[in-house]
């Protein structure tokens, strides 16, 4: 194990009715709230009205219409509202897109220029408004991490912004708020959380404890995703997935490891150029990446994965066992309704060169578990055709 520091300062309020604690939790931060949300799901399922009613003693300003793969324009708009109205705190009600956009707004409220400067490092984060979250989809882990992923359509970039000041102060995780998540988004969310775990799991540092946690999280996603898709209002399934999504990306599974991304930066290029659903892209890429990096050097790790996550016998030949684990991963994503080829997203090979270059540069893929060059990334993308 490497040395590490670990802390989880976000107060997680998990379970039924936890929204009711929000007024008391938010009071210390002031009275003016910017409530942010996406394309309208919270209005359809009643959460918007419920929260407005609960927070009637606060002055609420709103920024709705935040897109999946949130755009920098929404960040600038939110920052303007915060500055002009002296907003005290932000309440993000939604999934990773709304939360990420809100994190960037929280920082941009203290920055006079274009928020994109903060994303590309041209401007520095010096302060951020406090952020609270009501999570509505189990997927990214943004509810308990300090990262935000922001897109710029003009430059075809989707980049990560990270700073400890962006960590939510409090996150309400009520699984009932995910009952209305459609099957496709449920599957994409699970694919994303599984990818987070897998990216940390495949690492060159020996770390039995975080790996055992990872294997448990993967088994939870594998068990409960099909149930949540079949029975959208199955509380237990939604609850297990919601907690898995948070634990999958709050540093826990990375403790003592090198942790470098691989599949995520390849997916971010697809989202940047083609605006696809993050988790769906990962479901397609992850098994291809696994096949590409399987070798004498990595096979033992793949055997652990196949045996401990998927339950295959260790008596099999090493490569047979490893391939069974990869096949099971691909089959699982396919069975929960995820696309397995770029054609299903309507994507061809015309941007492979630029996407491969960008993925390696932005994600430092030359330092990944198995280092990847642009031509390796291109090969992985070709496997997705
Ligand atoms: O916009 P609305 O109308 O709310 O609909 C959303 C959206 O269409 C819908 N949805 C969410 N909750 C719902 C619901 N529909 C019905 N009922 C509900 N309760 O689901 C769709 C997707 O929402 P989105 O917020 O985009 O999903 P997700 O949570 O998967 O977030 C994806 C974004 O997060 C980034 C991704 O790149 C992407 O931009 N990520 C953020 C990370 C982080 N901050 O740490 C890490 C991740 O790896 C990821 O990159
Ligand atoms: Zn992700």
Give 279 Cα–ligand 2 centroid separation in angstroms.
6
Q: Please give the domain boundaries of the chain with CATH numbers for all domains.
A: 11-177 (3.40.50.1970), 183-383 (1.20.1090.10)
Give 27 Cα–ligand 2 centroid separation in angstroms.
32
Distances (CA, A) of 127 to 75, 83, 106, 164: 15, 13, 8, 10
Mutate to test the pocket of ligand 1, among 35, 96, 161, 180 (most ligand atoms within 8 A of CB): 96
Mutate to test the pocket of ligand 1, among 74, 94, 106, 273 (most ligand atoms within 8 A of CB): 94
**Per-residue model confidence (pLDDT) at position 97:** 98
**Per-residue model confidence (pLDDT) at position 222:** 98
Distance (Å, rounded) from C-alpha 373 to C-alpha 370? 10
Q: Measured between alpha carbons, how far apart are the two ends of the chain, in Å?
A: 38
Tokens for 32, please give them: 């003016």
Q: What is the SS3 assignment for 71?
A: strand
Q: Using an 8 Å Cβ cutoff, are 172 and 134 in contact?
A: yes
What phi and psi, each to the nearest 5 degrees, are found at residue 94? 160, -155
Q: By alpha-carbon position, which residue is closest to atom 16 of ligand 1?
A: 181
Q: By alpha-carbon position, which residue is closest to atom 46 of ligand 1?
A: 140
Distance (Å, rounded) from C-alpha 165 to C-alpha 167? 6
Q: Which residues, including other chains, have CB under 8 Å from residue 334's CB and lie 6 or more apart?
A: 340
Torsion angle of alpha carbons 200, 10, 269, 309, nearest 10°?
30
**Owner of token pair 């210390």:** 28
Distance (Å, rounded) from C-alpha 303 to C-alpha 131? 41
Element (H, E) at 168: none
Q: By alpha-carbon position, which residue is closest to atom 25 of ligand 1?
A: 95
Mutate to test the pocket of ligand 1, among 68, 269, 274, 282 (most ligand atoms within 8 A of CB): 68
Give 81 Cα–ligand 2 centroid separation in angstroms.
29
Q: Using an 8 Å Cβ cutoff, are 204 and 177 in contact?
A: no
| Burial class of residue 334 (count of CB atoms within 10 Å of its CB; 0-12, 13-18, 19+) | middle
Distance (Å, rounded) from C-alpha 349 to C-alpha 44? 38
Tokens for 305, please give them: 């994965």
Nearest ligand 1 atom to the CA of 192 is: 48
In the chain (385 residues long), the average pLDDT of successive 10-residue segments reads 92 98 98 98 98 98 98 98 98 98 98 97 97 98 98 96 97 98 98 98 96 98 98 98 97 95 97 97 98 98 98 98 98 98 97 98 97 98 98
Q: Which residues, including other chains, have CB under 8 Å from residue 241's CB and lie 6 or more apart?
A: 138, 175, 178, 186, 189, 190, 193, 220, 221, 224, 225, 228
Helix 183-201 crosses helix 208-230 at what angle (to 10 degrees)? 170
Give 320 Cα–ligand 2 centroid separation in angstroms.
29
Tokens for 141, please give them: 């882990």
Give 139 Cα–ligand 1 centroid separation in angstroms.
7
Q: By alpha-carbon position, which residue is closest to atom 10 of ligand 1?
A: 181
Nearest ligand 1 atom to the CA of 66 is: 1
Nearest ligand 1 atom to the CA of 40 is: 3
**Per-residue model confidence (pLDDT) at position 193:** 98
Measuring from each residue's beta carbon to the nearest atom of ligand 1, which residues come in under 6 Å? 38-41, 45, 68-69, 94-98, 100, 136-137, 139-142, 145, 147-149, 177-178, 180-181, 185, 189, 192, 249, 264, 278-279
Q: By alpha-carbon position, which residue is closest to atom 36 of ligand 1?
A: 278
Tokens for 123, please give them: 């401007």
Q: What is the DSSP string of 234-301?
A: -HHHHHHHHHHHHHHTSSGGGTTS----SHHHHHHHHHHHH---HHHHHHHHHHHHHHHH-STTTHHH
Nearest ligand 1 atom to the CA of 180 is: 17
Nearest ligand 1 atom to the CA of 185 is: 20
Tokens for 261, please give them: 């991304």
**Residue count (the chain):** 385
Query: Could you tell me whether strands 32-37 and 59-63 are parallel, antiparallel, or unpaired per DSSP bridges?
Result: parallel
């Amino acid at each position: 194990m490497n040395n590490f520091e670990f802390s989880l300062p976000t107060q997680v309020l998990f379970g039924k009715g936890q929204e009711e604690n929000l007024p008391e939790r938010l009071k210390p931060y002031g009275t003016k709230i910017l409530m942010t949300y996406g394309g309208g799901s919270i209005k359809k399922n009643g959460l918007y009205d419920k929260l407005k009613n609960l927070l009637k003693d606060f002055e609420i300003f709103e920024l709705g219409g935040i897109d999946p793969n949130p755009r920098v324009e929404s960040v600038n708009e939110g920052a303007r509202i915060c500055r002009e109205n002296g907003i005290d705190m932000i309440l993000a009600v939604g999934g990773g897109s709304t939360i990420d956009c809100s994190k960037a707004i929280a920082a941009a409220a203290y920055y006079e220029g274009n928020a994109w400067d903060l994303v590309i490092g041209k401007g520095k984060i010096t302060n951020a408004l406090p952020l609270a979250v009501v999570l509505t989809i189990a997927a990214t882990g943004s509810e308990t991490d300090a990262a935000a992923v922001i897109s710029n359509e003009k430059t075809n970039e989707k980049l990560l912004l990270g700073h400890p000041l962006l960590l939510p102060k409090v996150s309400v995780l009520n699984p009932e708020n995910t009952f209305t998540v459609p099957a496709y988004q449920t599957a994409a969310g699970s694919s994303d959380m599984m990818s987070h775990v897998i990216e940390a799991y495949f690492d060159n540092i020996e770390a039995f404890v975080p790996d055992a946690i990872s294997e448990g999280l993967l088994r939870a996603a594998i068990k409960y995703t099909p149930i949540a898709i079949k029975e959208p209002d199955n509380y237990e399934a939604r609850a297990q997935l919601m907690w898995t999504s948070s634990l999958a990306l709050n540093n826990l599974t990375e403790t003592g490891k090198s942790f470098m991304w691989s599949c995520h930066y390849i997916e971010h290029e697809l989202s940047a150029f083609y605006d696809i659903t993050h988790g769906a892209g990962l479901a397609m890429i992850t098994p291809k990446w696994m096949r590409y990096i399987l070798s004498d050097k990595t096979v033992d790790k793949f055997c652990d994965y196949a045996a401990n996550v998927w339950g295959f016998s260790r008596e099999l030949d090493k490569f047979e066992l490893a391939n069974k684990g990869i096949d099971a991963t691909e089959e699982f994503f396919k069975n929960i309704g995820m696309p397995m080829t770029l054609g299903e997203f309507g994507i061809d090979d015309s941007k492979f060169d630029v996407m491969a270059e960008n993925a390696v540069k932005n994600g430092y893929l030359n330092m990944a578990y198995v280092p990847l060059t642009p031509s390796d990334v291109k090969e992985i993308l070709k496997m997705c055709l």
